[in-house]
Structure 1
C-alpha cells in the first residue's frame, strides 16, 4: 500500500504525435491563410534556417512543458533529407538520452520530403534505423510513387523489426488516397497492430456510405 496523502494517482499521459525538431516556430512565419498548403510552404521555407543549437533550444523547451504537464511517454517524428542531413534527427536522439530518466521517447525516422523523389533518402532511412530510430516513418502522399513509398517502409520495418507510423493522406480532398492499399499491405504482411497513421484528413472529404445516407433520410 502507498500512502497518497489525499492526492490522486493516475497513469502518465502520452504525447503520441509531435515533431520536437519543428516545435515552437509558428511565430517566425505565421500561416496567414490557415490552410494546409501554406503550412507546408512556411515550414519548408523555415527548415533551412534550423541549426543544431536552435533545434536543441526549442525541443528542450517543449520537453520541459510536456513533462510539467504529466507526459511520461512521447513519440516524436524526427526528419532528415539529403539537403539538411541528420541535424534534426541527431539532436533529438541526443535529447532522448538526456531526458531518459524523466520521459520515455520513441523516435520515428521521418522522410518529410519523400523517399523516391529525393534520391539518397532511402539510404538515409537505413542509416537512421542503424542510429537507433525506434519506428519507421513515412509520408506516402508527399512522394512521386505513394504505393512504392509504402512498400519501402514495410521492407525497412521487416528488416529491423520496427513498428510503422505514417503521415497518411493528409489533404483537404479525397484524391489519390492510399489508406486502402496500406490496410491491405498491413494484413498481407501480418503486421496488424504494428502500423499507425496520423492525420488522414482526406476521410472528411469522402461521401457518406449509402447505408448511412439511407438511414439519415428515414
Structure 2
C-alpha cells in the first residue's frame, strides 16, 4: 500500500525520536528509498532520498515527531554505488564471455585449418619440384609426338594442340571403355567421348526402331551404338 510522504511537523516540546534501524530498497522505477518503522507506533514508513535531509518528520499515523539517522543517506549512497559496480561487473563478465567464445572459435578454426595448410604446403613443394624437373628437361631437346587429331608434331606433354587447337586430354579417352559404356549404358559411351548430339540421336533412333519393330531391332541398334562409341574420335 502506498504510504504518504512524510511532512515536517512543528516541535511538540520534546526532541524527536531517532530512527536507527532501516532498509535501503530500490523501486521499480529505479529510485532508492529508506523503509523503517515509526519509533512510536511501529507503523511501516518510507522516505525518499530528498526527504532524508529534513531535521525531523511526523508519523502520518500517530502524528509523533521523529528523525531518520544521517547514516541512512550514507547507506543509500553505498547501495547505489554497489549496484553500479555490480552492473559494471556483469557487463564486463558478458564481454569477457563473448571474447572467450570468439577465442575458442578461432582456436577451433585454426586447429581444423592446420591439416589444410600442411596439405597446401606439400602441394606447393610438389609443384616446385615439378617446375624444377621441367626446367632440367628443357635443357635437352624436347620430346615430341603427333597430334591424334591433325597428326602435326607437338610437344609430348602438350595439353592443347597448337596447330588445330584440339584439347589433347580428350584424345586420351579409352576406346574400349567407351565401347563398354555404350554396350551397358547406351549413349553414355558417346557422351564419354564428347559426342553429345550423336548420343541423343542414337537414343531417339533406338527407341523408334524398338517400338516400331516390337523390340526386334533394339539389340542391333544398341550394339551399333556401342560400336560407334568405341570407334569415334574424342572431341576436344
Same fold (TM over 0.5): no
Band the TM-score falls in, shorter-chain normalisation: under 0.3
- TM-score (norm. length: structure 1): 0.18
Between Structure 1 and Structure 2, whose CA radius of gyration is higher?
Answer: 2
- TM-score (norm. length: structure 2): 0.17
